[in-house]
Amino acid sequence: MRTLIAVLGAALAAAALLTPLPPGAAPGAAPAPAATAISSSSPAAPASPTSPASDSAFGSRLYVDPTSDARLVADALAAAGDARRAALIEQIASQPTAVWLGDWYGPALLSSVIQRHLRAAAAQGATSVFVTYAIPDRDCGGYSAGGFTPDQYLDWNRRVAAALAGSRAVVLIEPDSLAMLPSAKCAGVADTRLPLLRSAVGILAAAGLSTYLDGGNARWLSPDVQATYLKAAGVADARGFFTNVSNFDATQAERDYAGKVSSRVGWKHFVIDVSRNGNGWTGDWCNPPGAALGQNPQITESPAVKLDALLWVKHPGASDGPCYGGPAAGRWFESGAEALVVGRTGGSLGM
């Protein structure tokens, strides 16, 4: 056991040097199990001619991070001879996940991290998905508090845009940044935040990147209220919005909700985070017992629908915060990761 702990410790120390873990995003919801067909009872988008290939945001393949915490842990477990647990974590490590960028990276490291992921994605012939998470007053003082000052934030977005320019990467802009605004702890934040988000959309879109804004989730704001915030944040100049990031709502519930939001913002495209929604909402947003991995990520782009992809934005195994035995937000939570896998596959964690 001591040998295994030492090996895991070394692996995660290496991970900290390569890609410091982001804070976990805050309050939310939950969704569905394995890959099943999804119907839509939300408003039907107007018919459109076949989209040209250039209209695709995601191409044909999603990027799998070869240096993710899950990959390092799975490899360390295998090297230590713990084949059973290695197989559990492999179910996470083998799947595409988003790359989170935030104020935990200095300017030089930010550029280095982005370039490393872009090279790896190019080698895979895949599209990389990045998440920006450095808005001023991030999480409005919650477990993931932090972010830059307003002036620093726009300069930081310019650096991100310059590093990603020409890559055709996808950027999910600031989870929770809009849906959280009506909460009491975010009082007075909107006046500064909304113009910053509009500027961020413009900066990133000008670099040829597909951008998506925060669409909350089906249990949070009404479609009308969420649409109002999206319009104020510049969704007209973005490809669309994302829903359910770091949350747990069932995929069909999110699909229906997102369709209603899309109908209110000019039929914009959307993506859904299905990383941990295999058992739907179980009553808590922070490392909830009973949660399970959702279906594996997939590109769903089609001329007939506005749903572009089902993604793993939140990294399964990354803690939401110090609750239910978890470490600080964003840190690797081994027992939580294993529970997510077992929740989807059935069976027992064992010893």
- Residue positions annotated with a catalytic role: 139, 176, 320
- The conformational region for residue 9 under phi > 0 = left, psi -120 to 50 = alpha, else beta, is alpha
Distance CA 333, CA 11 (A): 14
DSSP state of 275: T
Bridge partners, 214 (sequence order)? 242
Which of 250, 215, 221, 242 minimizes the C-alpha distance to 313? 242
Question: C-alpha 301: how far from its chain's center?
Answer: 18
User: Contact, 170 vs 130, CB < 8 A?
Assistant: yes
Question: What is the arrangement of strands in the sheet containing 210-214, beginning at the earlier edge strand?
Answer: 99-102, 129-133, 170-173, 210-214, 240-243, 269-273, 307-311, 298-299
Amino acid at site 9 = G
